[in-house]
Structures are given as structure tokens and as C-alpha cells.
Amino acid sequence: MKVEWPTEKIPGSIGSIVLGKTAEDGGTRKVSYTIGGGKSMPFIRAENGTPNRPRIAMEVHSAKPDFKAMAAEELAGVLDDPVAWAKACENDWGADLVCLKFTGANPDGEDCSVDETAALAKEVLGSVGVPLMFYGCGDESKDSQIMSAIGDMIRPEGAVIGVAEADSYKSMAAAAIAFNTHLVSFSNLDINLAKQLNILLLEYDFPAERIIMDPLQGALGYGVEYSFSVIERIRLAALAGDKTIQMPMICDASVGNNYREAYEPSDIWGEANTRSILWEGVTAMSSLTGGADLVIIRCPSSTKYINRMLDRLMGGGD
């Protein structure tokens, strides 16, 4: 008996975005990638669900983070040297992008100055060739100063900045407009909130084709079921034709490292390092299976394995 592929009417599709600009486009990145563009649910070949390979951005923190177990071990040599860290992501660990998180700038933490932070951004920009993402510290006024300080430098690079949240999106959006970057719109595990924030941005005249949505990633065992379903619902709504929610999605799977199963030694849970890679890895696979176009990853080993899974999900077949 003949089995036909169970086609469905799919009126919408995911927008696509080019990350990074090479010399050809006036930037200094060595590579650039198109993400998004999906015409169905992820990895469905007959419907072109994933025409562009989802990408991995490895995170780099501007101040030495307090990582545990596998993350601490694998990143030991670079944790207090963001530039070396970023270089290793590119050269040794298979990152497609580097996501520089300005955690050190937080006024409640180390409170690094705007100048210091901008100088670091400059050095990272000059040290790696992959496209870059710049994440603020969460303090609105500090972040807006930082983005202004690095704006001219990153303007030609096709960079991504983040994150814009519902209660403070204007300063980030203004920076992204002024400096010609993409913008991450971050909402709290709710399709309607994701949509609302996009609408706010669009009403603020922010170009739809420069928005990347972050619907908040819950970790394996700690909310992954909520994020999995929100990601799927967003993707389905986009495919159903809702233009306000057709932007590519980013998920920060590094949260997978933050829970005890990922780092605590245990007599019952088995060997901790393997567990740790899997905690981040399964978290990331849930976002990718749901519809993420870009994931943020912490551990080099997780990056290696997720790349392998992507090879296998994207490759083969007809």
C-alpha cells in the first residue's frame, strides 16, 4: 500500500535572519549564518521544517562566574579571561556564535564600569571571527549605557543584542535600531506574552525581520515541560500564519547547568560529569525539537554532542 506523507496546510512560515556580517557586507566576521525560514515543525524534511541548521551560541561571562562541576572543570582555564574564553569557543569547542553576557556590569554585583565593559567587548570582537551576541546585565539604565558605548563598534557586524523585556523594551529597542543590530525579545513562558512584546516592538517601529524571540527556557526537571509546550505553541501559531510571532526563536539551554542533578555528586544518580552534559544536552534537545533556531550553551562537551545530534537530524534521508 502506498503511504502518502500526511501533508497539512501550512499557511505561515518562520522568518529568516542573517547573523553576522562578513567583509562582503561591510563587517569583520569570518562567517555568517542564516537561521529560521522553517516551513513546518522542526526537522520535518517533506515540508522543509528546518531549511537552515539551528546554531549554537556559546556563552561567555564578563565576570568570573561561580560555575560548578562539569562547567567549572571544562572551562577552568578561561573562566576569568573572557577573551580567551571566547577564542576557545570559536577555535576549540565548535561554537557557531559567541554570546557575551555582561554579568560583571551588574550594579548589585561587581559593578564593572561602562568603559571597562565596552573595552572588553571590543577585545572580544577583535579576537574572534564568529558572529556575536551581547547580553546586558539586567539593569536597564546600565545596559542602555553599555549598548550606547559599544554601538558604533558593533554596528557593521550583524550582531545580536538582548534582552528586551515587556517593562523595559524601549531602551534596548532604541539601541538596536540605532546600531543596526538584531534584538532578542524575552518573555515569560507564555505565548500571549511573547506575542504582546513583539507587538509592542512592532508598534515602536522595530523591524520584524530583526527580532529573535526568547520564550524562556526551563531546565530538564525544572520547567522543561512548560517551555517545550510554549515553544511548540509559538511555532504552530507562526505556521498557522500569525505574523506577529513568526520570528526565529532562541533558547538559553545553559540553565540546564543550574540544577543539582547537573552538578551534585551522588551515590544514586551516577557519574556526575556525564549527568551534567546530559542535563544541558537534553534541555537543548527539547528546545530544538520544539522549534528553537538558536540555542545558548555553556559546556564544551554539550556543544559537541548537540552539534552531532544536529548533524544527524539534518543529514541523511532524501
Partner 1 sequence: MGLSAIEIYKLLPKTNCGECGVPTCLAFAMQLANMKVELSACPHVDAAGEEALGAASAPPIKLVTVGDGEGKLELGDETVLFRHEKTFYHAPPLVGVVEDGWDADAIKTRAADVKALVFDRVGREEGMNAVAVWHTSGDMAAAATTAKEASGMPLVLIGSDEGAMKAALGAVGGDKPLIVSAEAGSNAAMVALAKEHGCPVAVGSDGGLEGLVDELKAAKDAGVENIVMLMRGELGDLFNDLVAVRRLAINKSFRELGYPSMTIIEGDDEIETTLEAATLLMKYSSMLVLRNYSPELILPMVTIRLNIYTDPQKPIQVKPAIYKVGDPGPDAPFMLTSNFSLTYFSVEGDVDKSKVPSRILVIDTEGLSVLTAFAAGKMEPDKMADAIEASGIADELNHKKLIIPGMIARASGKLAELTGWEIIVGPRESTGIPKFLREL
Q: Judged by CB, which is closer to ligand B12: 40, or 227?
A: 227
Distance in angstroms between the alpha carbons of the first and the last residue of the chain: 20
d(CA 204, CA 226): 29
Please tell me the distance from the alpha carbon of residue 228 to that of residue 215, in angstroms, as a whole number.
10
The candidate with the shortest Cα–Cα distance to 29, out of 117, 100, 147, 133, is 133
Which residue in the shown chain puts its C-beta closest to ligand B12? 223
Binding at 193: pick from ligand B12, partner 1, none (beta carbon under 5-8 Å per type): ligand B12
Closer CB to partner 1, 34 or 222, in the complex: 222
- Residue placing its CB nearer to partner 1 in the complex, 130 or 224: 224
Q: Which residue has the cell 540544577?
A: 259
Q: How far is the CB of 205 from ligand B12 (least distance, A)?
A: 26
- Which strand ranges, in their side-by-side order, compose the sheet holding 211-214? 211-214, 182-186, 160-164, 132-135, 97-101, 55-61, 294-297, 250-252
Return the residues of window 5-34 that contact ligand B12 according to CB under 6 A: none
* Shortest CB 306 distance to partner 1, Å: 8
Binding residue (CB under 8 A) for partner 1 from 176, 277, 296, 297: 277
Residue type, 197: L
* Residue 313 near partner 1 by CB under 8 A: yes
Q: Does 11 bind partner 1 (CB under 8 A)?
A: no
Question: Apex CA 248: angle with CA 244 and CA 254, to 5°?
Answer: 125
Nearest approach, Cβ of residue 163 and ligand B12 (Å): 10
**The dihedral sign for the CA sequence 4, 243, 230, 211:** positive
Compute CA distances 36 → 39, 45, 49, 251, 294, whole Å: 9, 15, 9, 13, 9
Task: Pick the closer one to partner 1 by CB: 3 or 203.
Answer: 3
What does 2 interact with, of partner 1, ligand B12, none (CB < 5 to 8 A by kind)?
A: partner 1
Q: How many residues does the chain have?
A: 318
Q: Which of 16, 43, 94, 155 binds partner 1 (CB under 8 A)?
A: 43
Half-sphere exposure of 119 (CA within 13 A, CB side): 5
Q: Under the criterion CB under 8 A, does residue 182 sit at the interface with partner 1?
A: no
State how far Cα 171 lies from the chain centre: 20
Query: Which range touches partner 1 (CB under 8 A), out of 165-173, 215-223, 240-248, 291-299?
Result: 215-223
* Of the candidate residues 23, 31, 46, 208, the single one contacting partner 1 (CB under 8 A): 46
Q: State the amino acid at position 100 in one-letter form.
A: L
Beta strand pairing status for 182-186 and 160-164? parallel
Residues 185-244 that bind ligand B12 (CB under 6 A): 188-190, 193, 216, 218, 222-223, 226
Binding positions for partner 1, rule: CB under 8 A: 1-3, 5-6, 8, 41, 43-46, 220-225, 228-229, 232-233, 236, 260-261, 264, 268-272, 274-275, 277-279, 281-282, 285-286, 289, 301, 305-306, 308-309, 312-317
Residues that bind ligand B12 (CB under 6 A): 188-190, 193, 216, 218, 222-223, 226
